[in-house]
A and B are shown apart, each in its own frame.
Chain A
Amino acid sequence: ILNVEQSPQSLHVQEGDSTNFTCSFPSSNFYALHWYRWETAKSPEALFVMTLNGDEKKKGRISATLNTKEGYSYLYIKGSQPEDSATYLCAFWHEVGSYKLIFGSGTRLLVRP
Chain B
Amino acid sequence: SAVISQKPSRDICQRGTSLTIQCQVDSQVTMMFWYRQQPGQSLTLIATANQGSEATYESGFVIDKFPISRPNLTFSTLTVSNMSPEDSSIYLCSIGQGKTEAFFGQGTRLTVV
Q: How far apart are the CA atoms of A32 and B107 in the complex, in Å?
A: 24
The reply to whether B42 and A101 form a contact with Cβ atoms under 8 Å apart is no
Residue B56 is within 8 A (CB to CB) of chain A in the complex: yes
CA distance A96 to B93 in the complex (A): 22
Question: In the bound complex, what is the Cα–Cα distance between A53 and B30 (angstroms)?
Answer: 29
Q: Which residues of B contact A95 (CB under 8 A)?
A: 98
Number of interface residues of B (CB under 8 A): 27
Q: Render B43-61 as a binary contact track against A, CB cut-off 8 A, 1 for contact.
A: 1110010000000101000
Known: A43-B4, A100-B45, A100-B48. A34 touches B101 (CB 8 A): yes
Number of interface residues of A (CB under 8 A): 25
CB contact between A43 and one of B42, B44, B56, B104 (< 8 Å): that residue: B104
B12: which A residues are within 8 A, CB to CB? none
B99 x A31 contact (CB < 8 A):
yes
Q: Which residues of B contact A (CB under 8 A)?
A: 4, 9, 31, 33, 35, 40-45, 48, 56, 58, 92, 94, 97-107
Residues of A within 8 A of B (CB): 4, 31-32, 34, 36, 41-44, 46, 49, 51, 89, 91, 93, 95, 98-106
